[in-house]
Amino acid sequence: MTPFKLRDLIALAERIYHGRLSGLQAFTELEPYADGTTTETALIHLLYHFVADHDIRERDPEYRALQRRQLRDAIACSRKEAGGE
């Protein structure tokens, strides 16, 4: 993923997080990022769920730990694939 595309993805994640974008609109705006590598697509998918599941993580410590571990591992895998580690 190019740095420009990654910045756009981060901005999109922030819009979802802050409730300025939801549901079908969010899926529609995430769609252009789905043409990345398998790792990028998996990270985007996990990021969407991580942001969307904020309320669940607040209520359920086991789910919070699971999602945080999954996101941490996905970021590490992405960095490794990109040659960052």
Q: Note the pLDDT tens digit of each residue in 41-85.
A: 777 888 878 878 888 988 999 998 999 888 778 777 777 776 654
Place of tokens 């997080």: 17
pLDDT score, position 29: 86
H or E stretch including 1? none
Question: Domain locations in the chain?
Answer: 3-81
**Burial profile 30-40: b = 16 or more Cβ within 10 angstroms, e = fewer:** beebeebeebb
> Whole-prediction pTM value?
0.61
pLDDT score, position 62: 97
pLDDT score, position 4: 57
CA distance 80 to 82: 5
Highest mean pLDDT among 4-13, 34-43, 60-69: 60-69
Checking if the pLDDT of 25 tops 80, the result is: yes
3-state helix, strand, coil in the chain (%, to 5): 80, 0, 20
pLDDT score, position 28: 83
